[in-house]
Amino acid sequence: MKKISYTLTLLILVCFTSTSCKKFLEKEPFGKTGKNTLFETVNGAKLAINGSYNVILNYYKNEFGMYADVASDNVIRGTSATVMLPQFNFQSAIGDDAFAVGHIWLNIYEALNNVNNVLNAIPELKTKFPDQTKTLDSLAGQGLVMRALCHFDLSRVYAQPYNYTIDASHLGVPVLTKTPSPGEQVARKTMKQTYEQILLDLNNALPLLQQHANHTTHAAITYQAALALLSRVYLYQGDWEKSIANANLVINDNRYHLANAVDYKSVFLLGANDSTKPESIFELTNDGLTSPSSSIYTAFSDTTNASYIISSKTKLLFDDEDIRLKNMFLTPKTGNNKGRLITTKYADGTVSALRPPLIQVIRLSELYLNRAEAKWNLQKYGEAAEDLRIISQRAHPTKTITITYGSSLDLYKQIADERNREFCFEGQRLFDLIRRKENLTRSSDCNATVCSLTYPNDKFILPIPGKEAEANKAIIQNPGFN
């Protein structure tokens, strides 16, 4: 496969994570020998796994990170909109290899191939360095979670949700546990098979990561991060009991708790200490790395150049006392978006190209809302309402929140609305809509060419990139894009 067999970012990931990168490259050109040299030592494997975080960050801070909000009802186009307009207008095309359609595919598969290189090197390293087994097990656990995350993210963009067919027999994505040989033809797995690999990797990671249960950094994958991601994947799969069970393990872990109203903004700030970020479970940090003007930071959070601003429909979800509206949104007083509301989850209105902040992958509040939705599906309405109340209460510290609902469907809508209030602009909205089999209905101020789509719909996912389809004859294109 021409596109998903790329291994060149192994070079890039080492550059990202080692100040001695230049010497390493000068000493030996990249290629088979360079790759083997990298994995001759445990330290080389550490550098490679650390670099893999940055390769994953690369797709989160660019088109993938924006996609689920840009293609949702959360945004309207700003006056400076220059990025992802085909996705905003649901006009994605097979030939868009140089834009989001191709970039998301290529960037995630580059991350996946880098992770697989690390995972496939670890068994030999354990034989060579038996005294380093614990360290290598930790690296393997992190790598397995990364591989699961890559496959999961790919499936959310290029495949219909798990419950699209009764038995999940519809097309998922190519599942890779090793880098394909040049020219190798790799077919798409079914969505059931795709999830089987995702869940296998996450569950296999748990015992490897458990030895680091006291690991405190939010920017590394821990045992708790794997549990949290399992709760999310099981929610998407519709396995309510397992989603709840994994959410419980994280919620009941006393090292995590919801940030209070004062510290809520710190959850999204680079460099904030653990005491002000107790609900951060796994984040990707961008400290010191450059970021293009088309990145999520500028597109969502720059007062002058923001491409997308909050829609009137989404703004109306918040009441005036909600700390999320007060602390996480800004109305520019000058610039192209003067008087229009933008999010400050990625910057306070001015984005520095040199030190843009972090991206939250998963945090504790999601576990409460996963649990609320799963309990609702098990008809445990009172318990679901209590989880909803906890999140809403944090957002309204000056008043007492009581959840009332006229019907189970009313409660379900409240849970869905709360999820969007909590996670808008964090890359979840479109995925939530389609896994819940809901229509997309944009607000009255919609300025896209498409303002509504009914579920199911071919346009809810992106086409397989044209270059991939051309090079890999085993792959089947998504319906509606032939």
Amino acid making up residue 296: I
Tokens 């020219």 correspond to 183
Q: Could you list the pLDDT tens digit for every one of the 482 residues in the chain? A: 545 443 333 433 434 333 333 322 122 322 333 556 678 899 999 999 999 999 999 999 999 999 999 999 999 999 878 899 999 999 999 999 999 999 999 999 999 999 999 999 999 999 999 999 999 999 999 999 999 999 999 999 999 999 999 999 999 999 999 988 888 899 999 999 999 999 999 999 999 999 865 555 788 999 999 999 999 999 999 999 999 999 999 999 988 999 999 999 989 887 767 667 889 999 998 766 666 668 898 899 988 889 999 999 999 999 999 999 999 999 988 878 889 999 999 987 766 554 557 899 999 999 999 999 999 999 999 999 999 999 999 999 999 999 999 999 999 999 999 999 999 999 999 999 999 999 999 999 999 999 999 999 999 999 999 999 999 999 999 999 97
Q: Output DSSP code: residue 443.
A: -
**Which backbone phi and psi does 166 adopt, to 5 degrees?**
-60, -40
Is residue 183 within 8 A of residue 7, CB to CB? The reply is: no
> Domains in the chain, ordered, with CATH?
9-285+360-471 (1.25.40.390)
Q: Which of helix, strand or coil describes residue 61?
A: coil
Amino acid making up residue 258: L
Whose CA is closest to 438, among 464, 401, 477, 412?
Answer: 412
C-alpha–C-alpha distance, residues 248 and 82, integer Å: 42
* Tokens found for residue 226: 């794997």
Exposed/middle/buried for residue 41 (C-beta within 10 Å: 0-12, 13-18, 19+): middle
